[in-house]
Amino acid sequence: MPTPPPEPHLFVVFGATGDLMQRKLLPVLYSLQASGKMPEGSRILGVARRPLTDASFRALCTSALQAAKSGSDKLIQSFVQERLFYQSVPTEATADFVALRQRVEQIEKASGLSGNRIFYLALPLEAFGPTITGLGEAKLNPAPGWTRLVIEKPFGRDLASAQALNTLVHRYFDEGQVYRIDHYLGKETVQNLLVFRFANMFIESLWSRERIDHVTITVAESLGLEDRAQYYESAGALRDMVQNHVTQILTLVGMEPPGSRDEDSIRNEKVKVLQSIVRLGPHDVVRGQYTSGTTAGQPVPGYRQEPGVNPQSDTETFVAIRLKIANWRWQDVPFFLRTGKRMPVKTTGVTLTFKAPPVTFFQTAEEYRSNPDRISILIQPDEGFELAFEVKVPGREMRVQTHRMKFHYADVFGPLPDGYETLLDDVILGDPTLFVRADEVEESWKLYDPILKSPPPLAFYPAGTWGPDAAQTLVQEWGQRWYYVT
């Protein structure tokens, strides 16, 4: 069935003067306009506490778009003057949200809009509740047309807070109106996991316990805090990366073929993966924190020396987890997850390592273990796939060497769109497939909540390395090794 055309709407961004809006969302909205994906007649209303006018907000956005090199000055000016408006909501009082509703209705009437609305919460977690309550109490939902609520991660800090937030959301919005956004799900390579697996019979036939020895998922960042100390001190790597980005990749790797392409069939299978994971214990998790070291040839301070960080901070900047999925496809196949800051390189990828042959004629069993066949999914920065396999080196002697067969998206399709662009396009079209459902959020928190309540002690690692030695021990105890997807 063809996708219906997008409908004109009012796109309301809460947190419109913040970093996410100015650095990410605004250039993406401009790009959607330039590519014809933003319906003609649609308008964008920025909302924040600052007492700006339409003119001063437009000037702020013009500077941001020029800094991002989004387009020519003429096209940028046309975009901001025709599309952008601003409304200050200085407090959480219902009266301020009633004033917002009046401004929304005024813009809709002047622009000939039918009342279709998108509310995007580009806000810190603690502001979600008051904003959702304000929208509901001011009767901004239901609208004359359709309404969609987009919520940025993190969705809660633990299971209890996630459940409370879901309860609050559902007081004013139906689940079908809610789009919990994780920008990793907008990446082409993450989405292509479904095509790679389910459109290639020979791949899917290998994707199980009969052929796969173990799976590693790595989300590595080479940077440190980058002025995010206040947020990161209260979050840490487990909340910031594992519960959302890493777990989303895990569910797509581990899911069963959905019965159809509709959004609930796909999301149902992701939830089943989470429900099948064997409960984690403290011995299955390593928490790390970087100390001073060297990154890209430059000395860098340790986490506790970063501006705004408690000198005795117990916040983890690295997490490694081992787990098993107790179902027919993955029984007894180890999955190893890790993420960290101040790693040697920035890279995100998945490696599925195949089992060794029961008898090998060309190498000893130990030699083969160091070079097994592997499939790697490269998610960033160089999106694509690699298949590592053994070949004979030309010559009389029987010498074996690992070779990599590579497919990189950029070589075939050129630059890929930003993940946010893909996801905002889906919001405009009303396609929730790539967004996280309420039960998926809660199942994910159930998995990690015991670790948050009883965290293992920190293990330290020098900046510029692949994490603490304990992370190596974690996989070696199960007879495996990490693979570096670079």
Which residues are tagged catalytic?
Answer: 245
Chain-centre distance of CA 246, in angstroms? 8
| 178 and 169 Cβ atoms separated by less than 8 Å | yes
| 12 and 45 Cβ atoms separated by less than 8 Å | yes
Identify the DSSP state of 456.
P
Tokens at 265, concatenated: 């069939």
Beta strands 117-121; 10-14: pairing state:
parallel
Cα gap 1→10, rounded to integer Å: 26
Residue 369's Cβ-count burial label (10 Å; 0-12, 13-18, 19+) is middle
Cα gap 248→154, rounded to integer Å: 13
Identify the DSSP state of 463.
T
Strand partners, 219: 339, 348
Query: Residue 81: CB partners within 8 Å, gap ≥ 6?
Result: 58
Identify the DSSP state of 325.
B
Cα gap 67→69, rounded to integer Å: 5
Q: Rg (Cα) of the chain, in Å, rounded?
A: 24
Helix (H) or strand (E) holding 131: helix 125-137
